[in-house]
Amino acid sequence: DTGVSQDPRHKITKRGQNVTFRCDPISEHNRLYWYRQTLGQGPEFLTYFQNEAQLEKSRLLSDRFSAERPKGSFSTLEIQRTEQGDSAMYLCASSSRDPNEKLFFGSGTQLSVL
Protein backbone atom coordinates (compact mmCIF):
# COMPACT_ATOMS: atom_id res chain seq x y z
CA ASP A 1 0.00 0.00 0.00
CA THR A 2 1.77 3.09 -1.27
CA GLY A 3 -1.04 5.46 -0.39
CA VAL A 4 -2.70 8.10 -2.55
CA SER A 5 -0.18 10.00 -4.66
CA GLN A 6 -0.72 13.48 -6.09
CA ASP A 7 1.42 15.33 -8.59
CA PRO A 8 2.67 18.01 -8.56
CA ARG A 9 2.87 19.01 -4.90
CA HIS A 10 3.01 22.68 -5.81
CA LYS A 11 1.98 24.60 -8.91
CA ILE A 12 2.41 28.30 -9.58
CA THR A 13 0.71 29.66 -12.67
CA LYS A 14 -0.36 32.93 -14.17
CA ARG A 15 -3.98 33.93 -14.42
CA GLY A 16 -5.54 32.65 -17.61
CA GLN A 17 -3.29 29.60 -17.97
CA ASN A 18 -4.52 26.02 -17.88
CA VAL A 19 -3.30 23.58 -15.25
CA THR A 20 -3.70 19.84 -14.81
CA PHE A 21 -3.24 17.79 -11.65
CA ARG A 22 -2.88 14.03 -11.37
CA CYS A 23 -4.02 11.65 -8.67
CA ASP A 24 -3.01 8.00 -8.33
CA PRO A 25 -5.31 6.25 -5.86
CA ILE A 26 -4.60 3.14 -3.84
CA SER A 27 -4.57 0.40 -6.46
CA GLU A 28 -7.57 -1.69 -5.38
CA HIS A 29 -9.81 1.31 -4.64
CA ASN A 30 -12.62 1.90 -7.10
CA ARG A 31 -13.86 5.21 -5.65
CA LEU A 32 -11.96 8.46 -6.17
CA TYR A 33 -12.80 11.91 -4.83
CA TRP A 34 -11.53 15.44 -5.49
CA TYR A 35 -11.73 18.16 -2.85
CA ARG A 36 -10.57 21.77 -2.68
CA GLN A 37 -9.37 23.47 0.51
CA THR A 38 -8.64 27.12 1.19
CA LEU A 39 -6.85 28.49 4.22
CA GLY A 40 -8.77 28.08 7.45
CA GLN A 41 -11.58 26.07 5.86
CA GLY A 42 -12.35 22.40 5.74
CA PRO A 43 -12.06 20.54 2.43
CA GLU A 44 -14.93 21.18 -0.01
CA PHE A 45 -16.21 18.35 -2.18
CA LEU A 46 -15.74 18.82 -5.93
CA THR A 47 -16.47 15.52 -7.64
CA TYR A 48 -16.41 11.75 -7.23
CA PHE A 49 -15.84 8.71 -9.45
CA GLN A 50 -16.78 5.10 -9.12
CA ASN A 51 -14.41 3.32 -11.48
CA GLU A 52 -14.41 5.48 -14.63
CA ALA A 53 -17.90 6.90 -14.08
CA GLN A 54 -18.20 10.41 -12.68
CA LEU A 55 -21.18 10.03 -10.35
CA GLU A 56 -21.46 13.41 -8.68
CA LYS A 57 -20.26 16.94 -9.30
CA SER A 58 -20.51 19.86 -6.90
CA ARG A 59 -21.93 23.19 -7.98
CA LEU A 60 -18.46 24.47 -7.06
CA LEU A 61 -17.17 22.70 -10.17
CA SER A 62 -17.64 25.41 -12.79
CA ASP A 63 -17.37 24.70 -16.50
CA ARG A 64 -13.70 25.66 -16.33
CA PHE A 65 -13.06 22.54 -14.26
CA SER A 66 -13.02 19.06 -15.72
CA ALA A 67 -12.09 15.77 -14.14
CA GLU A 68 -11.47 12.42 -15.77
CA ARG A 69 -10.66 8.90 -14.73
CA PRO A 70 -10.27 7.21 -18.10
CA LYS A 71 -9.50 3.64 -17.11
CA GLY A 72 -10.78 3.65 -13.59
CA SER A 73 -7.29 4.03 -12.19
CA PHE A 74 -5.57 7.43 -12.02
CA SER A 75 -7.53 10.68 -12.35
CA THR A 76 -6.77 14.15 -13.66
CA LEU A 77 -8.30 17.46 -12.70
CA GLU A 78 -7.91 20.27 -15.22
CA ILE A 79 -8.64 23.93 -14.61
CA GLN A 80 -8.88 26.09 -17.71
CA ARG A 81 -8.36 29.85 -17.75
CA THR A 82 -7.29 29.93 -14.12
CA GLU A 83 -8.40 32.78 -11.88
CA GLN A 84 -6.88 34.03 -8.65
CA GLY A 85 -9.84 32.58 -6.78
CA ASP A 86 -8.77 29.11 -7.88
CA SER A 87 -5.76 29.33 -5.58
CA ALA A 88 -6.22 26.51 -3.08
CA MET A 89 -5.05 23.07 -2.03
CA TYR A 90 -6.56 20.38 -4.27
CA LEU A 91 -6.93 17.08 -2.47
CA CYS A 92 -7.60 13.64 -3.87
CA ALA A 93 -8.93 10.70 -1.89
CA SER A 94 -9.80 7.10 -2.64
CA SER A 95 -11.79 4.37 -0.96
CA SER A 96 -12.90 0.81 -1.55
CA ARG A 97 -16.29 -0.41 -2.70
CA ASP A 98 -17.79 -0.51 0.81
CA PRO A 99 -19.90 2.68 1.03
CA ASN A 100 -18.93 3.19 4.66
CA GLU A 101 -15.24 2.62 4.08
CA LYS A 102 -12.83 5.28 5.18
CA LEU A 103 -11.28 7.67 2.68
CA PHE A 104 -7.54 7.80 2.20
CA PHE A 105 -6.31 11.26 1.23
CA GLY A 106 -3.22 12.33 -0.64
CA SER A 107 -1.06 15.25 0.49
CA GLY A 108 -2.62 17.52 -2.10
CA THR A 109 -1.50 19.92 -4.83
CA GLN A 110 -1.09 23.52 -3.72
CA LEU A 111 -2.10 25.84 -6.56
CA SER A 112 -1.12 29.49 -6.58
CA VAL A 113 -2.54 31.68 -9.36
CA LEU A 114 -0.69 34.96 -9.77
Partner 1 sequence: DAKTTQPNSMESNEEEPVHLPCNHSTISGTDYIHWYRQLPSQGPEYVIHGLTSNVNNRMASLAIAEDRKSSTLILHRATLRDAAVYYCILRDVDFGNEKLTFGTGTRLTIIP
Residues found near partner 1 in the complex (CB under 8 A):
4, 31, 33, 35, 40-45, 48, 56, 91, 93, 95, 99-100, 102-108
Sign of the torsion angle spanned by Cα atoms 71, 76, 79, 85:
positive
Residue 50's identity, in one-letter code, is: Q
Residue count (the chain): 114
Q: What's the rounded Cα separation, in Å, for the pair 27 and 10?
A: 24
Pick 42 or 85: Cβ nearer partner 1: 42
User: Of 37 and 80, which CB lies nearer to partner 1 in the complex structure?
Assistant: 37
- Residue among 44 and 68 whose Cβ is closer to partner 1: 44
What is the longest distance spanned by two Cα atoms in the chain?
Answer: 41
